[in-house]
Structure formats: C-alpha cells, structure tokens
Amino acid sequence: MAISQLGRVVFWMTGALLSFSASALAIRTLGQHLNTFEILTIRSGLGLLVLLVLALVQPSLRKECAPTHFGYHLARNVTHFIGQFAWALAVTLLPFATVFSLEFTMPAWVAILAALVLGERMTKSRFGSIMLGFLGVLVIVRPGMASFQPNALLVLFAAFIFAISLIVTKQLTNRRVSTFAIIFWMNLMQLPLALAWPVVQAATGGPSLFVFRLGADLLLPTLALGAVGLTSHYCLTQAFRFGDATVVVPIDFLRIPLIALVGWVFYGEATDAFVFAGATLIICGVLWNLFAESRRSRPPVAAST
C-alpha cells in the first residue's frame, strides 16, 4: 500500500469514527421517544432525500446508480439492515463503551472472511493489530455477568452480520462501484424495510406515524442522524477503496476509547483504569499496523557502490 493511500485510509476512517460516535448519541436521544424501526426510517429517509437532491443537481451521479451488481447490493443491504437494527437497539439498552467494545469481535470475522473470500494477505502486523485490539476489548469489557447479559448478545450478533456486510462492501469497491451508488442503494433498499413496521402499527390502530410525534426538541438529533448516516458510510466506503479490509478495520478499534469518552461526558457513564488500559492496547495495535504498512510501501533503497 502506497504511503499516500495509507494517509487517505486514516483520513477517511477519522471521519467514520466521528460519524459513528455522533450516530450513537443521536440514536440514544431518539430512542427515548421512538422505536428502533422508526429511528432507522429517519436515517434512511433523510439520507435518501439528500442523495436524490444531489442526483438531480449532478446528472453524472444518476448514471452511477444504474442497477449493476444488484445481487451484491441486495446482500449488503439486507445483512446491514439486520445488523444495524440489532446495534441500534443495543445502543438504547447498554452503555456506549460496552456496545462498541463487544462490536469489535467483528474484526476477527472480517479477517477470516477477507482471507477466505477476498484472498487478502494476513500479515504478521495485521494479525497482531487485530489480536491486540481484541485483547483491549476484553480488558475494557472484563467478561462476566455484568457485561455478558442477554442484551449484549444483540451486539455479538450484530458484529457477525456487520462483518458479512463489510466483505460485500469491499467486493463492490473492487468492482469499481462508486461510493455514491453504494450509499444510494443502501438507503433506497433499507427505507421500506424500516418503514414497514411503523406503517403496519399505524394502520392497525397503534401509534401514529412518528413524523407526527416529532417535537422541536428532537429536531437536532433527527437531522444529525440523517447526516451522519450518510457520512459514516461514505467515509467507511472510501477507506475500503484505498485499503484492504484488514488495514481499515483495526483502525476502527479507536471507536472504543472515543465512545467511552463521549458516554462519560454526555451521560455520566463510568470509566475506569481498565478502559484506558484497553484503549492503550488498541492504539498500540493500530499504530503497529500503520507503521508496518508504511514500511512495506516504501521503495527499496539502492545499495551504494
């Protein structure tokens, strides 16, 4: 991987980290008033609206959205919707740090699937980065009765499903499907999946559609969820475009110490020495892999004569 490509991976993953953290905050706030299907409807609906406006303004984008590789899009979006539902529900039930930590059993699945499906190399630094990250997760979570309560199984399930979705995303980028097209089809396919249950509820005498229950106090988290629902996947897809899955995913481990800080600042969720010890292991693994990748990208130095 060239140094310039590695820099782009880091840049786009920074955007993804910030976006996913903002998404968790918005979901936690909306979850006090709306159910998970309604929250996902907001994410997909606002995202699709923005994408349609962009497509109208720039005709070239409409050409990118031709239904090519439709099977890959369908597989990616069905699996991602299932994983997103489980993850969003867990965010409303568990502390942020617990959700994000348990989610990072995902890199082990990604590494295995990337080697089996994509034929990516499993170098020593890539393997070591994943193992240090996973060890950091164990230090933070400290598996026991408190951490592995039944609700935590939602996150473990979501992690496996997300891994499948990420591998399909990489397959789409390998086939030069544009980032805009990937995100457009994601929102277009997932909107009816999310909207179906709220419509059924309203039609059978249940709560009215959520759009009639949104107050001014929910305007900011609603708009934020729509925005970061786009930026998170745009940044993540761009990172996959410039780097292997086994390079991109270990960087994502940095979400854990970041969201632990967010949970402490906004919700008073407890942090302790174990969180920071685990974060140190995670960061060491990420830096080790980035250093090794940059060394492999340097051209050999010619021997002096």
Please give the helix or strand (H or E) that residue 210 lies within, else none: none
pLDDT in tens, 242-266: 887 667 767 777 777 788 888 888 8
Amino acid at residue number 22: A
**203 or 253: whose pLDDT is higher?**
203
Q: Is the pTM of the predicted complex or chain greater than 0.85? A: no
Here the tokens at position 12 are 């786009």
State pLDDT tens for residues 208-242.
777 777 788 889 999 999 899 889 878 887 887 78
pLDDT digits (tens, 9 = 90+) for 258-296: 888 888 888 888 766 777 788 788 778 877 877 787 676
- In this predicted structure, what is the pLDDT of residue 79? 94
Alpha carbon distance 104, 49 (integer Å): 31
Comparing CA positions, the residue from 289, 290, 258 lying closest to residue 275 is: 258
Q: HSE on the CB side for 275, CA within 13 Å?
A: 19
> What is the model's pLDDT at position 148?
55
Q: Which two tokens stand for residue 41?
A: 């409807």
Average pLDDT of span 135-145: 72
pLDDT at 2 over 70: no
Model confidence pLDDT, tens digit, residues 80-132 = 999 999 999 998 888 887 788 777 777 667 777 887 887 877 788 878 878 88
Strands in 121-219 per DSSP E: none
